[in-house]
Amino acid sequence: MLQTVSICVLLLAIGCTLAKHVELPAPYKDHCILDDKTNLYDPSKQFDIPWFDVNLDAPPSERWKQIGAAYKVQIKELIGVLIELITPIFPNAVDWADDVFGEMAPKLAQPYRDEIYSISEVTGIPLGQITMYNIFYEIFTVCTSIIAQDKDGHLTHARNLDFGLFMGWDPELHDWQISQKLRKMIINVNWIKDGKLLFKSNNFAGYIGIYNGLKPNAFSLTADDRFQLVGGYYGIFKWLFGLEADGKWMSWLARETLEQKTTYLDAKEHLMNTPMLSPVYYILGGSKKNEGCIIARSLNGTALLTELADAKNGWYLLETNYDQGQEDLYLDDRDTPGDRCMDKLSQKNAGFQGVFNVLSSRTNLNKLTTYTVLMSVETARFETILQSCPGECYPW
């Protein structure tokens, strides 16, 4: 019980201490690059991100060895920054991470438990630290996801992944320390089953859950955090105290859906109704006209379902980290500039180039943005492009 309480305290500490000694830059106004008739989309940049295979036919203990070995230095550096940020409040943060998250590891569901154990083994990083690395994304991710349908009914599904808010502002580089490290760890993954491609995703090396994935001719999926009072911390605490046996981690439910479900409708039902440990927005796209929706999840069900066919604009859905129709926080308004830029784009230009340019416009592009991913279920195109926002940008 004492160790469980320690985990709870440490999670709260991580969430509450990362803003210490941070000098935030002033927020800047939004700017749609389409106003300048600019095109920033360069498809050749997708080749800057390497591809790896994760073979689901192999034992879980073997699946991540190549990736873990290739990125062990980067994973260690990232965890080192996180430990450094919480050390001012917990001087023994390394011991805490090793002990309390190490105790947590045996309780994780299979096959994730064996995968995390193997990453720890191949990298030489303590088990507790690898476990912490695979859990703290459940709490700290802010993003923008878009599903856009052109005039011929072809769908583009895209997202910016923003991560690192309050995680160590670097006053010299004008960037967040965690975001800097993560940009060096972005990989694409081919998930193999029965000797064939099952689906595609991109990941941070050593992170076994999924925030973005595409199953060819079936569906595409992104996940954005949904901030609620009864949120990720609450679900994690319930799980730690043995009060929630069936709930799923948000990124593991996304992976499970991509592994097991074969149609857009099956994926939708699974994401809407499976008990969870943290609230989330699942943005789901298909291969057919009007196959797109935003599933606003609470822990035990769907709080709000927004269908592409019913979108107010008629051809796209844009999701950040607020319920559809809910007003954004003043200092975190990414919906208003995103909608303005999508309207400027227009439906006739709703392809990879157009949507990428929207996601490259402020404030949807910001200091936290690590990459943009572009997906088409119909054509199986999956492109990950490294992103950053130098100069005057929103800090979040």
Is 389 a known active-site residue? no
How many C-beta atoms surround the C-beta of residue 211 within 10 A?
27
Exposure letters 267-303 (e unless 16+ CB within 10 A, then b) = bbeebbebbbbbbbbbbbbbbeeebbbbbbbbbeeee
CA atoms of 235 and 289, how far apart (whole Å): 36
Active-site pick, 8, 16, 143, 389:
143
Tokens describing residue 104: 């947590």
CA distances from 199 to 93, 188, 213 (A): 37, 11, 7
Between CA 320 and CA 318, with CA 45 as vertex, the angle to 5 degrees is 15
Work out whether the CA dihedral 129, 131, 136, 141 comes out positive or negative: positive
CA atoms of 340 and 124, how far apart (whole Å): 48
At 148 the three-state DSSP class reads: strand
CA atoms of 205 and 68, how far apart (whole Å): 7
Contacting residues for 55 by C-beta, under 8 A, at least 6 apart = 62, 63, 192
Query: Which candidate, 141, 98, 137, places its Cα nearest to that of 120?
Result: 98
Active centre residues (catalytic): 143
